[in-house]
Amino acid sequence: MNQDLKNDRFLRALRREPTDTTPIWVMRQAGRYLPEYRATRARAGSFMALAQHPELACEVTLQPLERFDLDAAILFSDILTVPDAMGLGLSFAAGEGPQFARPVRNAADIDRLGVPDMEGELRYVTDAVRLIRRELQGRVPLIGFSGSPWTLACYMVEGQGSRDFATLKAMCWNEPALAHRLLDVLARSVAQYLAAQAVAGAQALMIFDTWGGLLGPAPFREFSLRYMAQVVDTLKTNAHARELPVILFSKGAGMHLPTMADTGCAALGVDWTIDLDQARRAVAGKVALQGNLDPAVLRSNPDTIRRETRAVLDSYGNHPGHVFNLGHGITPEVDPEHVKVLVDEVHSYGRTLRMT
Ligand code: CP3
């Protein structure tokens, strides 16, 4: 199925097969730190116009691959496309975070929600996937993605970004049945969304659970992990999606890696608050790991970036199953030259590590 791929390091690492060096891609690799991204976004008029225009989304997806020797592309889109397609009215005010015109607050709001039509409201996403696959011409695999049900619910109930998403957390304590109804419709939507991306040509799938780490251990299992597991289970019933590796990334949830590894996913994303060596022992060879350089390191200098990059590679060691990444998304003020230093160091040091 992936025989046409010229570089399959990323998919091999996800299968925990040997590779010549460690593969790398960077969360938010297409974004504001790149002047060419800012130029295309200006042409589009807004972030949402950019995401909803398949030719422009394809253009910005490929931009970081022109500059850096990355081992995977990631669809240019956003996790909040799904709630937008559910009718919540998403906008990004200039210089601010996301905003929903119609947040979800009560039973009536939740009863109105349905699984969006993947070839209707979300057709622009599958169109972008098809176009990017064609333009990539097998250079590297394409990652499709979604937010986790929990993380999407955080934004939908709060109506905007927040430090603690206390409105949804309050609903979990006050009206748990309501929270579960919301999370269930989101899990069904996310599974269909990811399956549609698989059918359109995505070659790996990632679920971003950015706010899973806000929950204590038992609530994490009840409100976040359980619904990611439901998504993974549903994907196994789809003829296309069942072939694809799924990466789960819960930020700030290092202590949950062993239970997350039992969901049937292929890999776990890891942030920088846990050593890869410890994370690798915690998952006991069940899954590959993706991570985990602190993105703030990219604000330092080339020598420090090389040193910290080698420390991450050494921490995982000479074992199969490591995909290098940052522990969270790259930030807008990073110098693109520093990303080149990072990518080249991962490949050159990763190669020497394989020989030890
Ligand atoms: O990784 C990639 O290059 C693919 C594109 C991608 C974007 N968002 C583009 C984007 C991906 C994978 C996402 C995921 C996403 N979006 C997450 C999960 C990952 C994470 O970072 O934790 C979350 C929580 C969101 C929601 C979101 N989208 C927020 C909070 C914001 C505003 C904050 C910010 O960084 O400006 C966005 C906007 C957004 N999504 C931008 C990009 C490039 C910036 C918008 C702009 O160009 O002004």
**CATH code reported for the domain at 9-354:** 3.20.20.210
**For residues 107-127, average pLDDT:** 97
- Span from the CA of 203 to the centroid of ligand 1 (angstroms): 21
Q: Which of 275, 310, 305 is nearest to 292 (CA)?
A: 275
Write down the pLDDT at residue 132: 98
**For residues 120-130, average pLDDT:** 98
**Count of other CB atoms within 10 angstroms of residue 239:** 9
DSSP 189-215: HHHHHHHHHHHHT-SEEEEEETTGGGS
* Domain regions of the chain by residue span: 9-354
The atom of ligand 1 lying closest to the CA of 50 is 47
- Contact residues of ligand 1, CB 6 A cut-off: 27-32, 41, 47, 74, 76, 78-80, 92, 97-98, 145, 161, 208, 210, 329
What is the per-residue pLDDT across 275-325, written as a single tens digit (0 to 9) for each?
999 999 999 999 999 999 999 999 999 999 999 999 999 999 999 999 999
Distance CA 219, CA 224 (A): 8
Residue 160 backbone phi and psi in degrees, to 5? -170, 180
Positions marked catalytic: 28, 32, 41, 78, 155
- Span from the CA of 280 to the centroid of ligand 1 (angstroms): 28
Taking the whole predicted model, whether its pTM rises above 0.75 is answered as: yes
Residue 2: band (very low, low, confident or very high) from pLDDT cuts 50, 70, 90:
low
Which of 66, 79, 155 has most ligand 1 atoms within 8 Å of its beta carbon, as the pocket-test mutant?
79
- Span from the CA of 28 to the centroid of ligand 1 (angstroms): 7
**pLDDT over threshold 50, residue 1:** no
Which of 25, 27, 28, 334 has most ligand 1 atoms within 8 Å of its beta carbon, as the pocket-test mutant?
28
**For residues 86-104, average pLDDT:** 92
**pLDDT over threshold 90, residue 348:** yes
